């Protein structure tokens, strides 16, 4: 089931087109990556979803019906630019924001205590926001974003400023929220996070959609004629015919060899050639990373735009 859908959304500012007929379809209880270079139009689309601004044309649907102003109560939005009041105490501010989302004082306190303990920030309850590190402030704002248990969560660069330990903690919490039924739109420049978290993505460049689909399918579609072979023992196969050895490493009693075929070749033929070199433990296509795909797609589209 599709929880959120944007159809042919266009937005212009003076002479600049921020979005040009962009569409996304976000399945229920999934993590959807909204990707693109700086200035591509991602934040504009996020602001439109949150009804901070309106599209010039196009339609938005939530639960199969046109989105309406009251739907902000079932959306949680963590913007890239944080907005906590520096002079207020942490607990006082979190409680205030929770009640703005319709929670009673008692229920807000119960949920806040749970999340503050879970994220190890309970000791900061009576501190002023300005006394917290940037990472701690982000944890507080993360809590206020998810506290009212919205059906749709939108995270814009949620890991900015976090150390690796806190990045892992927030990633785990995002996965936890999905398991509990939340649907998540996730905007980031960190492609490794996309591979770890996202089920589907849309890549926007210069206001237009240039790539979309499931992460797994996209990686397979963009795979070149490269293969990874793992051998038992130390094996050093040489380049042969249409096959070129790109790299070979030996560790923990296994050899990992990366091959590239100069033209499309039957994988069974490659496997037979490798079996002749040693005992093959595994043989798989070498899938490109989302970072590699991101760069290749954007650079290709930019070169096409210059030609035209």
CATH number of the domain enclosing 132: 3.40.50.300
How confident is residue 12, by pLDDT bands cut at 50, 70 and 90?
very high
The answer to whether the CB of 132 falls within 8 A of the CB of 88 is no
Distance between CA atoms of 70 and 159, rounded to whole angstroms?
29
Q: In the structure encoding, which two tokens stand for residue 285, read together?
A: 């296509």
Q: Please tell me the distance from the alpha carbon of residue 81 to that of residue 116, in angstroms, as a whole number.
A: 21
Do 24 and 155 share a domain, yes or no?
Answer: yes
Residues 44 and 69: their CA atoms lie apart, in Å, by 18
pLDDT band of residue 113 (cuts 50, 70, 90) is: very high
Q: Which of residues 169, 186, 219 is at a domain's end?
A: 219
Q: How wide is the angle at C-alpha 81 spanned by C-alphas 86 and 113, nearest 5°?
A: 55
Instruction: Flag whether pLDDT at 188 surpasses 70.
Output: yes
Whole-model pTM: value is 0.86
Residues 146, 273: one domain? no
Q: How many domains does the chain have?
A: 2
Rg of the chain taking only CA atoms, in angstroms? 24
Domain of 250 in residue numbering reads as: 224-285
Q: Within a 10 A sphere around the Cβ of 243, how many other Cβ atoms? A: 20
208, 93: one domain: yes
Q: Domain check: are 151 and 242 in the same one?
A: no
Q: Is residue 34 pLDDT above 90, yes or no? A: yes
pLDDT in tens, 66-111: 999 999 889 999 988 777 889 999 999 999 999 998 899 999 999 9
Q: Which two tokens stand for residue 178?
A: 């999905």
Q: Identify whether 242 is part of a domain.
A: yes
How much is the pLDDT for 220?
87
Backbone angles phi, psi at 15, to 5 degrees: -95, 0
34 and 166 together in one domain: yes
By CB atoms closer than 10 A (0-12, 13-18, 19+), residue 139 is buried
Residue 44: per-residue pLDDT: 94
Do residues 79 and 156 make contact, with C-beta atoms less than 8 angstroms apart? Answer: yes
């Amino acid at each position: 089931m599709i929880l959120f859908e944007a159809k042919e959304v266009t937005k212009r500012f003076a002479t600049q087109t921020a979005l040009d007929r962009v569409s996304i379809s976000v399945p229920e209880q999934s993590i959807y990556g909204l990707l693109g270079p700086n200035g591509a139009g991602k934040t504009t689309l996020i602001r439109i979803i949150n009804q901070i601004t309106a599209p010039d044309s196009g339609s938005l649907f939530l639960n199969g019906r046109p989105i309406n102003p009251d739907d902000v109560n079932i959306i949680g939005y963590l913007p890239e630019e944080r907005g906590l009041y520096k002079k207020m105490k942490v607990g006082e501010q979190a409680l205030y924001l929770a009640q703005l989302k319709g929670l009673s004082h008692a229920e807000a306190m119960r949920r806040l205590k749970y999340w503050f303990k879970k994220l190890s920030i309970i000791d900061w309850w009576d501190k002023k926001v300005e006394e917290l590190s940037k990472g701690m402030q982000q944890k507080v704002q993360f809590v206020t974003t998810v506290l009212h248990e919205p059906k749709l969560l939108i995270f814009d660069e949620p890991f900015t400023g976090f150390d690796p330990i806190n990045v892992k903690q927030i990633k785990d919490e995002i996965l936890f929220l999905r398991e509990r039924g939340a649907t998540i739109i996730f905007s980031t420049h960190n492609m490794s996070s996309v591979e770890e978290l996202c089920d589907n993505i849309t890549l926007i460049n210069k206001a237009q959609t240039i790539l979309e689909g499931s992460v797994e399918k996209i990686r397979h579609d963009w795979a070149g004629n490269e293969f990874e072979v793992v051998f038992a023992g130390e094996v050093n196969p040489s380049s042969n015919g249409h096959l070129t050895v790109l790299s070979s490493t030996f560790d923990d009693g296994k050899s990992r060899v990366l091959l590239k075929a100069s033209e499309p070749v039957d994988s069974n033929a490659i496997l037979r050639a490798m079996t002749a070199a040693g005992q093959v433990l595994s043989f798989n296509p070498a899938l490109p990373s989302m970072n590699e795909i991101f760069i290749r797609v954007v650079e290709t589209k930019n070169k096409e735009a210059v030609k035209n």
